[in-house]
Chain A
Amino acid sequence: QVQVVESGGGLVKPGGSLRLSCAASGFIFSDYYMNWIRQAPGKGPEWISYIDSSSSYTNYADSVKGRFTISRDNAKNSLFLQMNSLRAEDTAVYYCSRAFFYDSRTLGYWGQGTLVTVSS
């Protein structure tokens, strides 16, 4: 079955960096675009980044543009999010997400999330 598992979260000081990973299984990873979505405490989810299946195209929400970088390794079925210049408002649970089915624009499969806390 489709499974995505995030890791790499933790406590980091403002201005610091963190790299999140997402391990995918149960599907042909290289066929699907992937996304990162985050959810701050008590708030709704916020889409933050997209990468197409071949890493040819990426997109970012304005809130993270220039600070976060999405990437993937299709040989290792893995998705990454490099987060630099972290701010308190980046504190959230970060989810990796796959389309519900091929070429769908529904964010159908989510992992369990990894918590990032930015605090001094």
Chain B
Amino acid sequence: QSALTQPPSASGSPGQSVTISCSGTSSDVGGYKYVSWYQQHPGKAPKLMIYEVSKRPAGVPDRFSGSKSGYTASLTVSGLRAEDEAEYYCSSYAGSNNWVFGGGTKLAVL
């Protein structure tokens, strides 16, 4: 399985919105509802922020939202805050008990 494609970096000023894309294929992002987004701060484990394309786990602020169109999923962070600065990874179920991840997007809050 090939990795999902994410832009290496994204940035925004406090209060602004930023959207991160995640491109896959019909075998992963386009084929399943199981697209997830993770936030990772340095030295920490990834934290689930979005699951099943657009659902938020309890405790995740509603500033984080997800969507999908075709083979591309997106994560939008609205009302940027300093603590949102982190690496973000997308992931998709790819069938037959396989999962694929993106290479990550480093979000900078300027």
Contact = CB atoms under 8 A, between A and B. Distances in A.
Interface string B57-76: 10000000000000000000
Q: How large is the interface on B (under 10, 10 to 19, 20 to 34, 35 or more residues)?
A: 20 to 34
Contact of B45 (A46, A59, A95, A106): A95
B68 to A, nearest CB: 14
Which label, helix, strand, loop or mixed, suits the secondary structure of the B interface?
loop
A108 B46 contact: no
Contacts, number: 62
Contact of B97 (A43, A57, A100): A57
Interface in B28-72: 32, 34, 36, 38, 44-46, 48, 51-52, 57
Interface stretch (A19-27, A80-88, A109-117): A109-117
B86 interface: no
The listed residue with most A CB atoms (<10 A of its CB), out of B101, B102, B104, is: B101
Interface residues of A, number: 25
Contact of B48 (A35, A50, A100, A112): A100
20 contacts: A43-B104, A44-B101, A45-B38, A45-B89, A45-B101, A59-B97, A59-B98, A61-B1, A95-B45, A100-B51, A104-B51, A105-B32, A105-B93, A105-B99, A106-B36, A106-B48, A107-B48, A107-B99, A108-B36, A110-B45
Interface of A: 33, 35, 37, 43-47, 50, 52, 57, 59, 61, 95, 100, 104-113
Interface of B: 1, 3, 32, 34, 36, 38, 44-46, 48, 51-52, 57, 89, 91, 93, 96-104
Given A107-B48, A111-B45, 17 more contacts: A35-B99, A43-B104, A45-B89, A45-B91, A45-B101, A47-B98, A47-B99, A47-B100, A47-B101, A50-B98, A61-B1, A100-B51, A104-B34, A105-B93, A106-B51, A108-B57, A112-B45
